Amino acid sequence: MHKSLLAAALAFLLAAPAAPATAAGAAKPPEQAWSFDGVFGTFDRASLRRGLIVYRQVCSSCHSLSLVAYRHLAGVNFSADEIKAIAATVEVTDGPNDQGEMFQRPGRPADKFKAPFANENAARAANNGAHPPDLSLMIKARKGGANYVHALLAGYKDPPAGFQLTDGMSYNTHFPGQQIAMGAPLNEGSVDYPDGTKASVEQMARDVTTFLAWTAEPEMEARKRLGLKVLLFLLVLTGMLYALKRMIWSDLH
């Protein structure tokens, strides 16, 4: 009985056509050196500022940052006046007023980053049925984190010969199936960096990925500092306890 079942299973496996290895897979994102990696890692403030520019001028037309308020930009070393100026560039819906009506007003530091669409249905209608995801926690939400997001943004290429690309899709070496509904968002010179940095696709991908790593974990630096303090405290405490143990047991040796 068992031999018959084993033989049948083996025959099925041998008869079934093997699926292509890359049919639903994607190229592994290459490892990148990030300033925020490691125990002592910190966010590159210049890259964060450039990443904010890329998000505002490119990504924000489709993707929201629903968990981030403009006032949080203080963590990127923006001054209070700079934050007010950035927030004031958008119009937000507020109210109701004394007449019971909603109204538009300039953004304030306490407001969340303005969403590009009023709701999910509006987002899908503007993107051929696809719903652009919120980017607040994207680095945490995707396997590979910053390496994956960076590779995805820089992974748009022309499809190889014989590859059947569905209408409305773009070829990306790092997206599962190599077909993605989002067109290449970054192009050479898409933005102007005030610090004179060349806005190459690689540079913009790195900067906006750094910015999204910060939005996903803005307390990272404080957490690391606290962790180091705790480790130092435990080290000193261990030394003190060892010395106390030696003193208490010295009469017995």
Per-residue model confidence (pLDDT) at position 97: 87
**Euclidean distance between CA atoms 146 and 138, whole angstroms:** 9
Q: Which of 117-131, 203-217, 230-244 has the highest mean pLDDT?
A: 203-217
User: How confident is the model over 88-102, as pLDDT tens digits?
Assistant: 999 999 888 888 889
Asked whether the predicted pLDDT for residue 20 surpasses 70, the reply is no
CATH number at residue 140: 1.10.760.10
Per-residue model confidence (pLDDT) at position 91: 93
Model-wide pTM > 0.85: no
What would you report as the CA-atom Rg of the chain, rounded to the nearest whole angstrom? 26
Q: What is the mean pLDDT of residues 53-80?
A: 95
User: How confident is the model over 114-124, as pLDDT tens digits?
Assistant: 999 999 999 99
Sign of the CA dihedral running 55, 57, 61, 62: negative
Q: What is the mean pLDDT of residues 175-195?
A: 92
For residue 140, give its domain range: 23-64+133-158+170-244
Closest CA to 58 of 168, 181, 183: 183
Residue 107 covered by a domain: no
Residue 151 covered by a domain: yes
Residue 192 covered by a domain: yes
Provide the domain count of the chain. Answer: 1
The two three-digit tokens of residue 249, written as one number: 């047991």
Closest CA to 140 of 36, 237, 61: 36
**Euclidean distance between CA atoms 158 and 160, whole angstroms:** 6
Neighbours of 244 (CB within 10 A): 10
Asked whether the predicted pLDDT for residue 10 surpasses 70, the reply is no
Closest CA to 157 of 176, 169, 148, 170: 170
Residue 184 covered by a domain: yes
**Euclidean distance between CA atoms 39 and 95, whole angstroms:** 45
Residue 98 covered by a domain: no
Residue 149 covered by a domain: yes
Mean pLDDT rounded to a whole number for the chain: 87
Residue 47 covered by a domain: yes
Count Cα neighbours of 133 within 13 Å in the Cβ-side half-sphere: 10
Residue 232 covered by a domain: yes
